[in-house]
Amino acid sequence: MIHANAEGLPLYRQISQLIESDIESGRYAVGAQLPTEHDLGRHYKVNRHTAREALRQLKDDGLAYSIRGKGTFVAHSKVLYRVARKMRFSTSVLEVGLTPGAKLISTRTEPANETLRDKLDLPKDAPLVVLEILRSVNQIPFSFAVSYLPAEHFGLMSQRLQEGFSLYALMRELYGIEVSRQSSIFEVTLPETRDAELLQIPLNVPLLTTRSLAVDQTLQPVEYCVSHMRGDMGSIMVDFSEK
């Protein structure tokens, strides 16, 4: 039961704590769908706003995540995505016992703008291969990345990207390039409409956005990537131990 003045806690927080207890007891297993706002409102006799806030609190606490149009589900502990010089997405996800996935959303060729020319050390009007990649964890959309590659070296890359591919593994296998991360900038952003659609999240779910430059074994830039990770599912650990 919930009470208007229970220990000074607002009603939505009392509801979220009750659901948290149900998750801990196993009533709601990992991946299970939680009651809807309507169901919570009816069960606890609160308005829809209060029910919505209770679900939001669970997501803020990392206990739940939403898939737009489907509902709210019990989360694993947040996926700890390890960022290191030579760490690949698939390896980082496998390290925590989960299953990675990758899907090529689109590919195109376009001239590099001034910013990308500077990042990738390219001449004016040099063409780029642009890959839009949706990555998943246990078949749940997890991050959406846009990779920019010099077309002079990687013009045929998009033809080799099959379901579940590893971009850096292909660069090694096809071109003999050992890719390593040279720099990354992290920031918290909100999704654009397309990001939200691909990641199946509401527009108010924050993203962990990473802008990274990768180089080959000669320190020549080979990729500039902007990646948007779901903030309700993932956290980032920067690994300084890798040499």
DSSP string, 51-79: HHHHHHHHHHTTSEEEETTTEEEEPPSPE
User: For the chain (length 243 residues), average pLDDT per consecutive 10?
Assistant: 66 92 88 92 92 91 83 82 81 83 92 95 92 91 95 81 78 90 94 93 90 95 96 85 66
pTM value?
Answer: 0.75
CB crowding 109-126: b at 16 or more within 10 Å, else e: eeebeeebbebbebeeee
- CA distances to 38, 115, 196, 200, 236 from 68, in Å: 16, 34, 8, 5, 24
Please give the full DSSP string across 124-151, using - where no structure is assigned. Answer: TT-EEEEEEEEEEETTEEEEEEEEEEEH
Residues 34-89 pLDDT 10s: 999 999 999 999 999 999 999 999 988 878 888 888 899 988 777 888 888 887 78
